[in-house]
Chain A
């Protein structure tokens, strides 16, 4: 009973007011609605798209591209970050190029990648990888540089070589930060994948959304927006739970 009283109902009031305002603003019969649709048809479109499976196919395409790009870019970034974090010379040498390439918006590479690889999955994966690789390099490098000095001394005393200390000392020590990095870069990967599809790639959720917009189907377009947001939200939720679960074993350290 007490728990029910403590339930924070206020956000639901705001959401209800937003949806009601949306309904009220768009359901005026005098308004031509080539552009926006009331919430009810949008909800219908979401249900319909899930029922006939089209949104699942498109979502799987988007997620596949985001995941492959994340693996490629994250892997390269992790490798470079590990090396740069452990050897000072490399860290100094890569800083200039990283700072020069990092501010480049990954989406601006779409035309170049299209000429080189053509439209399709590989192009999207490479663009996602380019976007993901820089934050991964920087976060891994910082994580490695912040490893407890005493752990490094242990590795020195045990005379571990560079290759041996990565799995035995460094990776376990930076594990929690790597999980945070994963969450951060997964959000970027999904964002870039959807954007590449919106801009040009005929594949996945972003493309379907653009097609709905160009075909004057506002309900369908907004339904895709709802689905994309829900996927982003779900992805974040999954990774936060992963973070809680797997980063936990570090806490008893004193």
Chain B
């Protein structure tokens, strides 16, 4: 405990030093204020946005869209990954096809999605699912393929149905891989939600950043960037915590 506490203090101190450097640079007018607002202005913009602006709503929209997309693609990824993982025919025929789709930049699907769904929330959800499903899906397949062969034999000896095998043996074994994949999916979800927000102009942090830049509201722009960074940090830390909790029995 004291070790993690001192780690935390070092982190806080180093981030504090970074913010202090930022303040000194802006206070000494080393960089034009048009490009880099002072941290104080950003803080004021954050406070103003949360107390009587729409910042809270925008943040919530982004977070909800991110979580919805992440949840859907994790569920879909684990289900499809399980099917591919236990069914040899599906693995032989689908795995190479998935390898073709995987290097496709997720954002490149956006024009196609706009053409099909228009500039709507469904479009955003579709893009997030399509782009962020790969880590969860491939991690599940990988987790299934690295199950101890003896466990497979146990399943066969107990006459388990494929469903029982997935639920009782394969999934618990693949959990570490799956959670690592889901963490990556979460990162990609956030990125894709921001990108679709920017393109469609729906109420969210992505469109906030674009609007702020168009009106030269640099404090607002940096406030949006800070919020995005905090969202990414918290979601990642939360999943890391869950990971440690779920996997504590393995140590």
Contacts and interface: CB of A to CB of B under 8 A. Distances in A.
Interface string A162-198: 0000000000000000000000000100110011001
B15 interface: yes
A195 B105 contact: yes
Given A96-B10, A112-B221, A198 B93 contact: no
A11 B228 contact: no
Contacts of A213: 111-112, 114-115
B212 A111 contact: yes
B149 interface: no
Interface in A76-104: 92-97, 99-104
Task: Specify which of A8, A10, A95, A187 lies most central, judged by the most chain B CB atoms within 10 Å of its CB.
Answer: A10
A191 B187 contact: no
Interface size class of B (residues with CB under 8 A): 35 or more
Contacts of A14: 93-94, 97
B157 to A, nearest CB: 29
Interface core residue of A96, A194, A210 (most chain B CB under 10 Å): A96
Contacts of A224: 108
A35 B18 CA distance: 48
Given A221-B111, A232-B103, A115 B213 contact: yes
Contacts of A95: 10-11, 14
Interface in A189-221: 190-191, 194-195, 198-199, 206, 209-210, 212-213, 218, 221
A31 interface: no
Contacts of B107: 107, 191, 194-195, 198-199, 206
A241 interface: no
A56 interface: no
Interface in B50-106: 89, 92-97, 100-101, 103-106
A110 interface: yes
Nearest to A221: B111
A45 interface: no
Contacts of A102: 232
Contacts of B232: 102-105
A229 interface: yes
A228 B191 contact: no
Interface residues of A, number: 56
B195 A104 contact: no
A93 B34 CA distance: 29
Contact of B233 (A36, A94, A100): A100
A229 B100 contact: yes
Contacts, number: 162
Interface string B178-196: 0000000001001100110
Contact of A109 (B105, B225, B235): B225
A228 B104 contact: yes
B82 to A, nearest CB: 18
Given A104-B225, A105-B232, A195-B105, A97 B110 contact: no
B228 A108 contact: yes
B190 A105 contact: yes
B202 to A, nearest CB: 14
B224 interface: yes
A199 B198 contact: yes
A105 B92 contact: no
B41 to A, nearest CB: 15
A11 B97 CA distance: 6
Nearest to B226: A104
Contact of A104 (B92, B111, B210, B229): B229
Interface of A: 8, 10-11, 13-15, 18, 34-36, 92-97, 99-112, 114-116, 187, 190-191, 194-195, 198-199, 206, 209-210, 212-213, 218, 221-222, 224-225, 228-229, 232-233, 235-236
Interface of B: 7, 10-15, 18, 34-35, 89, 92-97, 100-101, 103-112, 114-116, 187, 190-191, 194-195, 198-199, 205-206, 209-210, 212-214, 216, 218, 221-222, 224-225, 228-229, 231-233, 235-236
Q: Which 5 A-B pairs have the closest CB atoms?
A: A103-B232, A111-B213, A232-B103, A96-B11, A10-B93
25 contacts: A8-B96, A10-B89, A11-B94, A13-B93, A14-B97, A15-B97, A93-B14, A97-B18, A100-B233, A103-B228, A103-B229, A103-B231, A104-B229, A105-B228, A105-B232, A107-B195, A108-B194, A108-B206, A108-B228, A111-B209, A111-B210, A111-B214, A191-B106, A206-B108, A224-B108
